[in-house]
Amino acid sequence: MIGRVGKVWLWAGYAFLYIPILTLVVYSFNDSNLLSVWGGVSLRWYYALVADEQIQSAVWTSLKIAFFSASTAIILGTLAAFAISRYKRFAGRTTFLAHINAPLVVPEVITGLSLLLFFVACENFFGGASLRGMLAIWIGHTSICTAYATVVIQARLSEVDRSVEEAAMDLGCRPFQVFYLIILPSIVQSLASAWLLTFTISLDDVVSTQFLMMPGTTTLPVLIFARARLGLDPMINAVATITVILVGTGVAIASLLLVRQERLRAEAQAAAYREGVLAAQAG
């Protein structure tokens, strides 16, 4: 079905995508810190990683920020997705849509800079303490993440059968009950994938974090970026390998679960159909 050309193209494509990742992993076990010399297999860079406190605290900070950004983003994203798919007409809908989609389109250097200048202006205006640091980074990440979350959740929300909501109301559900009894269970999966997506985006963010952070706290990607600019550092390879293993396992598990869920569902529907046919023939 694929054909010879297709097979070659796919293999070449996947090779292109994966060879760099593989070299990262392989060289993380290189005893020498030079790429041109293979010093034998060793775990020294992993030991160094564990001992490096700067990296430890950066990882912890990144995880914290990512967690809060992702969680806030799916709450805001659900509200926004709801507004877009349910309320077809309200004053300022076009501007609302523009606001929701803008972070997807505007380069991060701009969002980072503008948020920073905004916080500085607030500091000057209200005479308060510096708003930079974790709070600012959290807000910056949330703005960007909300846009992605909205796209994912809205795609699922627009598929939900409206008559199910009406049926719920018909049976005695007040509007808010409809939301958490009927709609929420239907979109749970998209909420989970939106959370994972935004978590990853936040964890990975370099540019706006750099604008908004305070000296003293740093996140993992900012740290990696700083070291990478200076040159090649095998500890980064070690970080990369760990990341690849974690992400790879996660993606594999998620894919398997999805495929299995689809298969079970199809089987159940087929079984029900067969039963229906047999019943019709008998009765």
Give bridge partners of residue 30 from the DSSP assignment: 41
- The piece of 3-11, 40-48, 51-59, 63-71 that touches another protein (CB under 8 A) is 3-11
Among 60, 162, 189, 261, binds another protein (CB under 8 A): 162
For another protein, the binding residues in 53-112 under the rule CB under 8 A are 76-77, 79-80, 82-83, 86-88, 90, 92, 96, 99-100, 102-103, 105-111
Q: Work out how close the CB of 57 gets to another protein at its nearest, in angstroms, rounded to a whole number.
A: 18
Q: Is 187 a binder of another protein (CB under 8 A)?
A: no
Q: Check residue 40 for interaction with another protein (CB under 8 A).
A: no
How near is the Cβ of 41 to another protein at its closest, in Å?
17
- Residue 15: Cβ-neighbour burial (10 angstroms; 0-12, 13-18, 19+): exposed
- C-beta closer to another protein: residue 43 or 232: 232
131 binds another protein (CB under 8 A): no
- Report in angstroms how near the CB of residue 50 gets to another protein at its nearest: 18
Stretch that binds another protein, among 34-42, 49-57, 63-71, 127-135 (CB under 8 A): 34-42
Told to check if 48 binds another protein by CB under 8 A, we report no
| Span 4-33, contacts to another protein by CB under 8 A | 6-7, 9-10, 13-14, 16-21, 23-24, 27
| Distance linking the first and last C-alpha atoms of the chain | 44
One of 40, 51, 126, 170 touching another protein (CB under 8 A): 170
